[in-house]
Amino acid sequence: MSERRFDPQRSRVAVLMGGHSAEREVSLMSGTGVLKALQSQGVDALAFDPAERELHELRALGVTHCFIALHGRYGEDGCVQGALELLRIPYTGSGVMASAMAMDKVMTKRIWTALELPTPAYVWLSPQAQTPEALDGIAERLGLPLIVKPPREGSSIGITKVTEASQVRAAAALSTRYDADLLCEQFIEGLELTCPVLGEGDTARALPVIRIAAPNGDYDYQNKYFTDDVQYHCPSGLDPEVEARVQALVLAAYRALGCRGWGRADLMLRASDQQPFLLEMNTSPGMTSHSLVPMSARAAGISYEALCLQLLDMARLDTPEGASR
């Protein structure tokens, strides 16, 4: 069975949005934007919420391709990608393994560290290891301030910046509402950056870097999606040599995880020496009015509509027969 190439005139596209994760609301906004963009380009596109319908219904609907606008668990972690592999429906973005690894920030950091790609020092604690003694010792191990976060969530959900050792237990309690495991990370003082990537392997390319300036440095869930208080600088205003180094690092990080289609790396640029540090890789980035991939793409001369079509043109399956074009 050969893979079906996306044809805007002959394909039927389901935009997967909503889902079961804590990022459901944002996913609905992303998916609605993508759906309108595709329909404006004459694509036969429909909305599909896996929280409300069974995925096998995609077959009955005659869907030939899926645009994954799901964020977080069950949409960005390899689960829906695996289901689509079984249904033999090509989809946008990374495959099963890359999606699963990138969704788990601890696994991501292990891979990057093994390849000597810079990422902040960290402590991972399983549920059994989260003893009062272990929590109280984290500040001494990582220094202050530090970041406490759930390793398998996105959109800054459950994250706390800890400035005093006495705050670690409360931060851990918030984080473990979203993930039983706990990730504590060294805080890098400097500029917050993000950089999207399009493509796969040697042909992947980094788009322009975006510099993020949030009120009081608080780039949280509310500021990300529901206010206009955050300033986004694209062009970033960085020295060209620094921007090129950031882009090269992001491409190395993307390839190390085996990502394809698209992604977006979040980083910190240390103020003391302009050293970039990788924080995470998003394999199903946001496509809302506040989202950063469309912003960077516009700076590279790619419209929102053209971006959606380009991503669909790269949709495929992970399995050997699907990988051959």
Q: What is the pLDDT of residue 216?
A: 65
Percent of the chain with pLDDT over 70: 93
Q: Which residues are catalytic?
A: 23, 155, 225, 264, 266, 280, 282, 286
Percent of the chain with pLDDT over 90: 86
In this predicted structure, the answer to whether residue 23 has a pLDDT above a threshold of 90 is no
Split at pLDDT 50, 70, 90, the class of 324 is: very low
Q: What is the pLDDT of residue 290?
A: 81
CA 37, CA 56: separation in Å to the nearest integer?
25
Using the Cα atoms of residue 52, residue 55, residue 57 and residue 63 in order, give the sign of their dihedral.
positive
Q: What is the pLDDT of residue 321?
A: 58
Tokens matching residue 43: 């694509």
Alpha-carbon separation of residue 145 from 1, 184, 307 (angstroms):
54, 11, 38
Taking the CA of residue 84 as centre, how many other CA atoms within 13 Å lie in the half-sphere pointing to its CB? 33
CA 174, CA 124: separation in Å to the nearest integer?
16
Per the prediction, the chain carries an average pLDDT of 93
> Rounded mean pLDDT of 65-79?
95
Of the candidates 221, 220, 193, 217, the residue with the CA atom closest to the CA atom of residue 207 = 193
Split at pLDDT 50, 70, 90, the class of 322 is: very low
21 secondary structure, DSSP code = S
Q: Higher confidence at residue 285 or residue 3?
A: 285
CA 72, CA 260: separation in Å to the nearest integer?
17
Split at pLDDT 50, 70, 90, the class of 325 is: very low
Name 244's Cβ contacts closer than 8 Å, sequence gap at least 6: none
pLDDT digits (tens, 9 = 90+) for 212-267: 998 766 545 554 545 577 899 999 999 999 999 999 999 999 999 999 999 999 99
Do residues 159 and 148 touch, judged by C-beta distance below 8 A?
yes
pLDDT digits (tens, 9 = 90+) for 123-180: 999 999 999 999 999 999 999 999 999 998 865 789 999 999 999 999 999 999 999 9
Total residue count of the chain as it appears in this document: 325
Show the domains of the chain with their CATH numbers: 12-93 (3.40.50.20), 101-119+189-308 (3.30.470.20), 122-186 (3.30.1490.20)
The strand pairing partners of 232, in sequence order, are 212
CA 99, CA 115: separation in Å to the nearest integer?
19
Tokens matching residue 204: 């992947």
